[in-house]
Amino acid sequence: MKFLLAQINPVVGDLEGNAKKILSTASKASSNSADLVLTPELSLWGYPANDLLLKKNLIKNQYQILDQLALDIHKKYGNLGITVGIAEIINDSFFPNLYNSIALLERGEWKIIARKIILPTYEVFDEKRYFRSEEKVSVLTKEINNKTWRLGFTICEDLWVNKNIEGRGIHKKNPIFDLKKKKVDILVNLSASPYTFKKLELRSKVSSFAAQYLQVPLIYVNQIGANDNLIFDGNSFILDKNGSKIKQLKSFSEDLSSWDIEQTKTQKNKFEKSEMSSIFDALVLGVRDYAQKCGFKTALIGLSGGIDSALVSAIATAALGSNNIYCVSMPSKWSSSHSKSDAKDLARRLKINFNSIPIENLMSSFEESFINTISFEMAEITNQNIQSRIRGTLLMALANQEKHLLLSTGNKSELAVGYCTLYGDMNGGLSVIGDLYKTYVFKLCNWLDSEDSINHRKSYRLDSGEDLIGENIRTKAPSAELGPDQLDTDSLPPYSILDNILKGIIEEKKDIKQLQEDGYEKELVLKIISLIKKAEFKRKQAPPILKLSSQSLGSDWRIPIAISY
């Protein structure tokens, strides 16, 4: 029996376009004499479709598209079968009234062959809002070349049932245990599993456990592409019955690959990536897909001469091409000479469009207007925020006029403690590095300027023959330049300390006592907790944040604003 793994990038809600993409995979399947094409979870919709799943007209249209797709496949490719992820309607009076299902399109017709059992409700996931859970495991029986095959089908979370690996606890049901009784010949998992740090390692472990427990090969097919703040990395793979990898598909790229069930020879993993290269690839894909799927061709960045805007500029250039990146330096009376020159030099190295708009006169006009009209003299923090908001207004004006996607350049450390200005540097349509702590920003930039990244940079046409970020930017002390010779450490502890405390609070959910046991002073911990609480209203108004960690400060951070604890 021969499979084609279709690691595709659907557009959320584009049912007709996604159907065409699925149909196009059949051509390669036919040329490779495949018997069955496997596409990811909810491949007809794109994942996550969220409240689009509540639109009755889309659900109705889905069935018409499935009917036509089944006919087109049969007409062009005979008895080839294709699995398609759909939202199956349940005809009763209860809500939710959908299953997260897999349909098999074959011989001009389609039928449901699997329904999702485990519905995740952690991090960004909220599937119980839309779907009902299936009770029974799914097995598809297929007759191929006079042999009967029993295929066990699971959908994404159905595989994540081992608390010793993924650490979220025991589910009431365990589809893998239930499939043991069904004596399947192969296990298939169709997923839309977002990228986060170390996710590939965890996927491999839970999949290896399932393959070994059932003593059958396992096919794992994952969606790729970015949908809003979520990045899907692909990395589909096949394991043998001992849990060893036979085949690995590409990372962060669409890929089609055929595999015969009789093939057991292990393929050397030529797509192995380092942590830094994976993070960079994820962010590049996040920016590229967000821009393309939202209809933007160009991006705009406020270039300060600091490391955050430098990194975002490099990512955007890799994503959209240097001709499509527009950067603006907006020096004030507090901007250092090296910030101005560093911004200009970075633009030259990246070969991106660069302009400078000094804002000293604009700041003076604001100050004079307040004093002359209402005798209001701006205090230090107000003056600092006006500087940021002038820049934000200029950037929004340029973005509106030229139809650029404005990219926000703030990092996770700043967003966490509120070291950022609403309607100023927080302006933008997408927060590119809002889930990267400042220490990781430095790590990623150091990697980009190292020999380890040379081939990677060349693949994105970032091979200028010199440092990309530049030593001046990488080694200068972080500063928002809010005043003469001002440094971030005037207001915050060093990022090496701050980020460890933030990670303890945000990702690891540690309390004050636990952080004290880690060696941090109680007063410092209390200060940081207070800053996090006070900045909640800002984060609720931030642009979508590309998710990289298990706990971003975006859609999976659900802390109320008006709280006391």
Residues annotated as catalytic are: 41, 116, 156
From residue 189, alpha-carbon distances to 40, 192, 223, 420 in Å are 8, 10, 12, 42
Give the three-state DSSP class for 125: coil
Residue 290 exposure: Cα atoms within 13 Å on the Cβ side: 28
From residue 527, alpha-carbon distances to 91, 270, 522 in Å are 54, 47, 9
DSSP state of 251: B
Contacts of 323 (CB under 8 A, 6+ apart): 353
d(CA 75, CA 71): 6
d(CA 311, CA 350): 11
Backbone angles phi, psi at 120, to 5 degrees: -75, 145
d(CA 266, CA 550): 31
User: In which region does residue 255 sit, left (phi positive, over 0), alpha (psi from -120 to 50) or beta (all else)?
Assistant: beta
Contact 220, 238 (CB under 8 A): yes
- Give the containing element (helix H, strand E) for 279: helix 275-294
Between the two ends of the chain, the Cα-to-Cα distance in Å is 59
Give the three-state DSSP class for 187: strand
Residue 131 exposure: Cα atoms within 13 Å on the Cβ side: 24
Contact 115, 101 (CB under 8 A): yes
d(CA 356, CA 344): 9
- For residue 96, cis peptide bond before it (omega within 30 degrees of 0): yes
Q: Which residues sit opposite 226 in a β-bridge?
A: 231
DSSP line for 433-483:
STTS-HHHHHHHHHHHTSGGGHHHHHHTT---SS-SS-HHHHHSPP----S
